Amino acid sequence: MKDYLQQSVWRFWDQSVSGKGRSPLESFAADDTLCQLVGQGLSPATIRTWVHDQSVVLGIQDHRLPHVQEGMALLKDRGFKPIVRNSGGLAVVLDPGVLNISMVLSEKEEKIDINTGYDIMVSLIKRLFPKVADKIEAYEIVGSYCPGSYDLSINGKKFAGISQRRLRQGIAVQIYLCIEGSGVERAKLVRDFYDISLQGAETKFKYPDIKPEVMASLNELVDETLTVQQTTIDLQSLLVTLSDEVKMGTLQEDEMELYTFYLKRVLDRNQSMLSKR
Q: Pick the catalytic residue: 146, 160, 210, 246?
A: 146
Contacts of 3 (CB under 8 A, 6+ apart): 123
Query: Three-state SS for 55?
Result: strand
**Would you say 29 and 265 are in contact if contact means Cβ atoms under 8 Å apart?**
yes
Q: Residues 198, 200, 203, 208: is their CA dihedral positive or negative?
A: positive
Adjacent-strand bridge partners of 50: 15, 100
How far is the C-alpha of 106 from the C-alpha of 169, rounded, in Å? 6
CA distances from 97 to 27, 87, 267 (A): 17, 24, 25
CA distance 105 to 224: 32
Could you confirm whether 35 is annotated as catalytic?
Answer: no
Return the active site residues: 146
